[in-house]
Structure 1
Amino acid sequence: MSRKNTLAAAVAAALALGTVTVVATQSTAAADSSSARPGAGFRAVSADARAEALRTADREAAAVAKSLGFGADERLVAKDVLLDTDGARHVRYDRTYRGLPVIGGDLVVHYGKNGKATGSDQAHQGAIKVAGTTPKLSASDASAAAVKHAKHVKNAKSAESDGSTLVVYAVGKVPVLAYRSTVTGEGEGEGGAAAREAVIVDAASGTPLDQYELHQSVTGTGNGTTVGQVSIETTLSGSNYTLTDATHGGTIVYDSYNSSQSNPKQNARTFSKTTNTWGTGTTSSRESAAVDASYGLAKTWDYYKDSFNRSGIRNDGRGAPAYVHVDTSLLNAFYDDDCFCMFFGDGSSQNSNTPVTALDVAGHEMSHGVTAATANLNYSGESGGLNEATSDIFGTMVEFYANNAGDPGDYYIGEKLNMSGGYMRRMDNPASDGSSLGCWTSSAGSVDVHYSSGIGNHFFYLAAEGTGAKTIGGRAHNGTTCNSDTFAGIGKDKAAAVWYRALTTYMTSTTNYSGARTATLNAAADLYGANSQERYLISKAWAAVSVGTALPDPGTGSPSPSPSGSTSPSPSPSSTGNPNPGNALTNGSFEQGTAGWTQSDSDITNSTLQAAHGGSWYAWMMGYGTSAVESLSQSNIAVPATGSPKLTFWLKVSTQESGYTAYDTLKVNVNGATLATYSNANASAGYVQKTVDLSAYKGQNVKLEFAGAEDAYLATVFLLDDIAIG
């Protein structure tokens, strides 16, 4: 079935396949727990045990795909397995379609401690189907289109070594055949350093679908040797020592010898000497930057191991190589998952040519690897902001964990890099850099990911530390909110445990900020209980950055303050007192994402594949071309008690059907009664305003539902926007 959320009618009777019966719904939070579960709830697993768990997951893959209603052309490949301390299991799969990689096809399947599947989280919910896998465009045409549409590089050209790869792009609502191309050129920063960008174009038309930088990087300046005198792990081979850290998976730090970004390994050589003393603390020694990198990567490894029982980037005990002194005048450091390695530049004349090897930078870059190995958040849109925020969060936590007197923990990013403003980003006040977002807006998905990351950074700071002025690590911090709320934090270690569990267990490649809120609330319930103060305060921190509303306080039972601009539910109508004022419908423009709405599928979107009537968000219902049903609803809406109340909304209908027979329908239901029906016969070139009389419901609180249904042949798309009751 070509659906986001397959088995609409069959979820309740999912195929019984032993221990791999999977319910194709969002995972629900665990029952209350009186005490926190350590290590974000995960237990340590040896490399051999993890490998066997992956083999088991691969053996189960076909049954899992069938249970979820996936088609015969789809295959699942196990990517990661996490085991809870209580025996529960979480299996992450990548997906292919007729042998082609599916971008946005990843999913996580959850199993209880009894071995039975409890649910799944899918980047693209349900089966994937495209008309065919024979492209209209050739690979060379796709590469030319990619060069034309590249946004993040100048003087772009196709990277012929990578070429254009045929894929299925399933990030939008309707999967399409596409090409993923790699484009190279000059970067946007100082000196025109080399840059690489992925560009995804429609395989039929060459229309750009997405583009993002391949170097998931921290751009900044250095401050020489930042860690001072520290102990580092080395290896003695014959009579020479090398910067090979056998205690951390064989991590090796190389001298790139100023090889270009496009080929950082070209001139690389091993640091090797007969004595085991490294660096001078100044840039006059090439070893000084290597000491910083070696120390930072070791501390990052130890942080993940001690905090979450994670053994290295991919949880397989293997260390990644790192290269210092990359390029010339490079104000950058980056992680590259293609080579499973990290690169650090030497800075430029703007910062006295000091290396970009600070402790939180090393933690940031290695954490990009952890993200790639788990949720693999797409490096564009809101998911890209979450990707960057994850690296800032864990880079910061590594700094706290290291407890280095010369670089105490704080919530400033890159404060040791000698930036002109004193830091690269601030988690307590993201907007202080003049570019980063501290509050969610409907345009967050179109902002550079280094700036949209501010929303996640701000959330994490507030969740950890709460509101108000503080001095942390000798630096001033001030936790202000977007809704003027005040509250305490749960502590940085608990907040980090929640984020890590959400990242590894509930997030997928397409998770946005609304999805991150859901993922962290699920994680907090797993770790501390569904009615815990920790979970409540997590919801408060999200509301404080304009993502959703706060949960009721489990301690008092009273509701939490709502974000600025939100509307509280109206009271039930009464024969006395003021009449119902009406129009309490929340977020009718969808510009707050999913806030206020309940959706059976991922209907609310800001996808550029369709246009909104106003703003950038809208609801996209149906359009599968096969049997499907879905609904979008909002409850407890106050209908005005006076006048002639009406429901108004803008509707655009596009269809592959012909004639005036209603094959595919969208019904408007109020309290279960159908008041209006629209169908493929109402197809229009643009949005048309619709009006539904609500006089029969004067003064009542009602449930409004848009219910879509599609038959087995040909697709009809219903787009909804700017809904109001008044």
Structure 2
Amino acid sequence: MSPTPQRRATAAGALVAAAALIAVGMQAGTATAAADATASQARTAAQPNPGAAAAKLSASERATLLAEANSTTAQAAKALGLGGGEKLIVRDVVKDADGTTHTTYERTYDGLPVLGGDLTVHAKDGVTKSVTKATQHEIKVSDTNATVTPATAEGQAVSAANAEGSKQTKADKGARKVIWAAEGVPVLAFETVVGGLQDDGTPSQLHVITNAKTGAKITQWQGVQTGTGNTMYSGQVTLGSSQSGSNWTLTDAGRGNHKTYNLNGGSSGTGTLFSGPDDIWGNGLASNKETAAADAHYGAQVTWDYYKNVHGRNGLRNDGVAPYTRVHYGNAYVNAFWDDSCFCMTYGDGEGNNKPLTSTDVAAHEMTHGLTSVTGNMTYSGESGGLNEATSDIMAAAVEFYAANPQDVGDYLVGEKIDINGDGTPLRYMDKPSKDGGSKDAWYSGIGGIDVHYSSGPANHWFYLASEGSGAKVINGVSYDSPTSDGLPVTAIGRDAAAKIWFRALTVGYFKSNTNYADARVQTLKAAADLYGQGSATYNNVANAWAAINVGPRINDGVTVTAIANQTTQINTAVSLQVQATSTNPGALTYSATGLPAGLSINSSTGLISGTATTAGTSNVTVTVTDSASKTGTASFTWTVGTSQQNVFENTNDYAIADNATVESPITVTRTGNAPSTLKVDVNIVHTYIGDLKVDLVAPDGSVYNLHNRSGGSADNIVKSYTVNASSEVAQGVWKLRVNDNASLDTGKIDSWKLTF
């Protein structure tokens, strides 16, 4: 993990499309089918199941899995009981840490592609555990002879495309015969794709499905989904670049050779790779062509890092190869889009060519469309289209929080940096989607008939509620007040847990091409069971967040108490600890506790534990919360009261550790006298490949005590206690834990640390 010389400082920007950002989808239906922590939420009791985590596969390991799956498609079809005319084509293979594989197949019938026939086999040790199918109908038609001519189907498709702004007079390719199985009983059909441009200048790849027996149009969807450098939106950042001789290019060799190109006002082709005599890109102003490139390049970079470091996915296809980026598309083009045909992201420069749509959340949104296209591949219309859009918004929010960029802090707003409307408002709101004037807060039976950027609202709302819970709160300076459709509160599972659950449902084959809201609930619960256990608090609250947007019932009937961390305080020191709890039943809550240290008590009406501990020792405390229906919930923890000679000071805030950078986490110590010769330093650093790290304790006077110096090689995380002879140091003042990352590729965070005097 040695540093690469192909690095540069540059600026990044926020990117979000116009009123509609990134798209593709379809499907209607019923929505009544039967802890990790964020910065603003306490940690939940549930812990991830490590066996369900994605195995980190090299490109060659993934290629081997694909080859093995491709060599057994006939056996797999037979084992699944498919008809004689059906064949399987491998689309993807994902492997869990415990060896479970998830193999996703497309189907053909008598040599014809089956649209909506995708399925995933979940197996371990050669034994099939379950199968997830897009359709439960038998793939069968009376015959494959079309009554309607291909020309008729093509004419219908051209007319549909012209209605959306395309000037094309013929289809890009002749109508192809398919089996349409995404909705109801499979039928023989034609699929026609028409290109050109949409009304707003976005490229068009309109897919039109025509019944090959009757000539009736079945459905249509758009195949183009919209959605030291100095950036407009993210300040000065470090970019992955490459040097050849005296020339530098925006080629990120450490991230799948991701490249950023300049279309320079064009609307086709690849454009020109950004290059120059130095490794400085942009100046933070839209007038400099490199600025938008720096923003978009940075957005792709942090998205790649998020998927790799958090979810173990090595590129969108999991093959170590990156898509590419194009900026400066068209003239004053107010949008951005993902295009499967080039496997690339493209960005316009916005109104007056002064507001490039290249902020971090927009870039992550567009890039996530690429991930969806090779995994769940939800059709871009109807309910599945809304879920496709929401997937990009959900992962974009997760990426923005992960990036921890002080110039573009994490939030649950979409496109807030771009100010596309010129009034300081974002494009979309995840806590209450209806605030944008078009999106819906909750599911209803007709939601599949509206624009996918608006039908994404309920899923975005689910993610916010699952991440942060309902009610009023302030996160990173932004005020939120999220309602629920059933009027009952939702307890947060934490943003990391919510994102991991959605990601798993997307990538292991739980989400299919025709997934609707009801099925999304089923599949995210399946993912929650994999990761956190069926019936766990996390699992139940995933269901409750769905119920809060009118999809399915609540699971837990009663009280949920937010987990309480073990407490450490000092004798004769005043304490204040607020118990957090919610209930699915209306009315007031009553609080009680057993085992509290002497001198402490709990307010039965508010749940505040307060007082002054009078006796040293460790107590086992259980808090019980009772609601108006006599339902109860509990939380148990230990409470240690130390003597006055021992003081513990702790910082539990997260501090991101970027590549080739230094970060410090401070603790203010109020203890008098000198530090002891046995000063205890407890460190919890989350970081892959700890051989990259140098960790020091810095005393208030600037003296440095080394704790860890690039040892440990490829091991992950530093969770360790150190003893330091700091007897020459005055205890009172600001102590710092300084972490220096000395290489590329691996990043992490200071999760917490403490000093015990």
Q: TM-score, normalised by structure 1?
A: 0.69
Which of the residues 419, 433, 438 maps onto 1:435? 438
Task: Find the counterpart in structure 2 of residue 481 from structure 1.
Answer: 484
Q: Could you say what secondary structure the match of 1:241 adopts?
A: strand
Q: Deviations for 1:107-156, whole angstroms, at most 9, x for unmatched residues?
A: 111113x3310110100225311222232233222110112344861255
Task: Find the counterpart in structure 2 of residue 196 from structure 1.
Answer: 205
Q: Is the 8 A contact 1:158 1:184 kept in 2?
A: no
Task: Find the counterpart in structure 1 of residue 516 from structure 2.
Answer: 512
What CA distance in whole angstroms lies between the structure 1 residues aligned with 2:461 and 2:89?
A: 35
CA 1:353–1:34 in structure 2 vs 1: closer, same or farther (change >3 Å)? closer
Report deviation, 1:401. 0.5
Task: Find the counterpart in structure 1 of residue 590 from structure 2.
Answer: none
Task: Find the counterpart in structure 1 of residue 249 from structure 2.
Answer: 242
Which of the residues 272, 275, 295 maps onto 1:292? 295
Greater C-alpha Rg:
2
What CA distance in whole angstroms lies between the structure 1 residues aligned with 2:558 and 2:249?
A: 55
In structure 1, give the amino acid aligned to 2:530.
D
What CA distance in whole angstroms lies between the structure 2 residues aligned with 1:276 and 1:176?
A: 56
What CA distance in whole angstroms lies between the structure 1 residues aligned with 2:225 and 2:585?
A: 35
What CA distance in whole angstroms lies between the structure 2 residues aligned with 1:39 and 1:289?
A: 41
Q: TM-score, normalised by structure 2?
A: 0.66
Task: Find the counterpart in structure 2 of residue 527 from structure 1.
Answer: 531
Q: Could you say what secondary structure the match of 1:230 adopts?
A: strand
What CA distance in whole angstroms lies between the structure 1 residues aligned with 2:170 and 2:481?
A: 45
In structure 2, give the amino acid aligned to 1:465.
E
What CA distance in whole angstroms lies between the structure 2 residues aligned with 1:165 and 1:388?
A: 27
Does 1:321 find its partner at 2:317? no
Q: Could you say what secondary structure the match of 2:204 adopts?
A: strand
Does 1:41 find its partner at 2:53? yes
Q: Could you say what secondary structure the match of 1:471 adopts?
A: strand
Report deviation, 1:63. 1.7
CA 1:224–1:243 in structure 2 vs 1: closer, same or farther (change >3 Å)? closer
What CA distance in whole angstroms lies between the structure 2 residues aligned with 1:101 and 1:193?
A: 28
Counterparts of residues 61-80 of structure 1 (less than 5 Å):
61-80=73-92
Does 1:82 find its partner at 2:103? no
Q: Could you say what secondary structure the match of 1:516 adopts?
A: helix
Q: Deviations for 1:605-662, whole angstroms, at most 9, x for unmatched residues?
A: xxxxxxxxxxxxxxxxxxxxxxxxxxxxxxxxxxxxxxxxxxxxxxxxxxxxxxxxxx
Q: Number of aligned pairs?
A: 518
Q: Could you say what secondary structure the match of 1:405 adopts?
A: coil
Q: Deviations for 1:284-309, whole angstroms, at most 9, x for unmatched residues?
A: 21100000011100100000001110
Report deviation, 1:34. 6.9
In structure 2, give the amino acid aligned to 1:516.
A
Q: Could you say what secondary structure the match of 1:106 adopts?
A: strand
Q: Could you say what secondary structure the match of 1:247 adopts?
A: coil
Does 1:257 find its partner at 2:264? yes
What CA distance in whole angstroms lies between the structure 2 residues aligned with 1:344 and 1:466?
A: 34
Q: Deviations for 1:517-551, whole angstroms, at most 9, x for unmatched residues?
A: 00011111111111200000001000000000011
Task: Find the counterpart in structure 2 of residue 144 from structure 1.
Answer: 155
Q: Deviations for 1:34-53, whole angstroms, at most 9, x for unmatched residues?
A: 73135962110111111111
In structure 2, give the amino acid aligned to 1:161.
D
- Detail structure 1 runs of 4+ shifted over 6 Å in the superposition: 554-557
Task: Find the counterpart in structure 2 of residue 50 from structure 1.
Answer: 62
Quote the RMSD (CA, aligned, Å): 2.3
Report deviation, 1:561. 4.2
CA 1:286–1:39 in structure 2 vs 1: closer, same or farther (change >3 Å)? farther
Does 1:464 find its partner at 2:476? no
Report deviation, 1:417. 0.8
Q: Taking every aligned residue pair, what percent have the same amino acid on both sides?
A: 44
Q: Is the 8 A contact 1:540 1:560 kept in 2?
A: no
Structure 2 runs not aligned, ≥5 long: 1-33, 35-44, 562-581, 587-757
Task: Find the counterpart in structure 2 of residue 128 from structure 1.
Answer: 139
Comparing 462-471 and 94-103, the one that deviates more? 94-103
Comparing 38-47 and 94-103, the one that deviates more? 38-47
Structure 1 runs not aligned, ≥5 long: 1-27, 564-726
Task: Find the counterpart in structure 2 of residue 20 from structure 1.
Answer: none
What CA distance in whole angstroms lies between the structure 2 residues aligned with 1:215 and 1:39?
A: 36
CA 1:111–1:66 in structure 2 vs 1: closer, same or farther (change >3 Å)? same
What CA distance in whole angstroms lies between the structure 2 residues aligned with 1:360 and 1:154?
A: 28
Comparing 149-158 and 176-185, the one that deviates more? 149-158
Which of the residues 280, 283, 287 maps onto 2:286? 283
Does 1:163 find its partner at 2:174? yes
In structure 1, give the amino acid aligned to 2:527.
A
In structure 1, give the amino acid aligned to 2:59.
A
CA 1:224–1:423 in structure 2 vs 1: closer, same or farther (change >3 Å)? farther
Q: Is the 8 A contact 2:166 2:204 kept in 1?
A: no
Q: Is the 8 A contact 1:483 1:562 kept in 2?
A: no
Q: Name the structure, 1 or 2, with higher relative contact order (CA <8 Å, separation 6+).
A: 2
Task: Find the counterpart in structure 1 of residue 652 from structure 2.
Answer: none
Does 1:95 find its partner at 2:107? yes
What CA distance in whole angstroms lies between the structure 1 residues aligned with 2:442 and 2:434?
A: 9
What CA distance in whole angstroms lies between the structure 2 residues aligned with 1:105 and 1:475?
A: 43
Q: Deviations for 1:321-379, whole angstroms, at most 9, x for unmatched residues?
A: 11000111111111111211111111123xx6311101001100110011111010011
Task: Find the counterpart in structure 1 of residue 548 from structure 2.
Answer: 544
Task: Find the counterpart in structure 2 of residue 399 from structure 1.
Answer: 400
Q: Could you say what secondary structure the match of 2:237 adopts?
A: coil
Report deviation, 1:170. 0.6
CA 1:424–1:556 in structure 2 vs 1: closer, same or farther (change >3 Å)? closer
Report deviation, 1:67. 1.9
Q: Could you say what secondary structure the match of 1:284 adopts?
A: coil
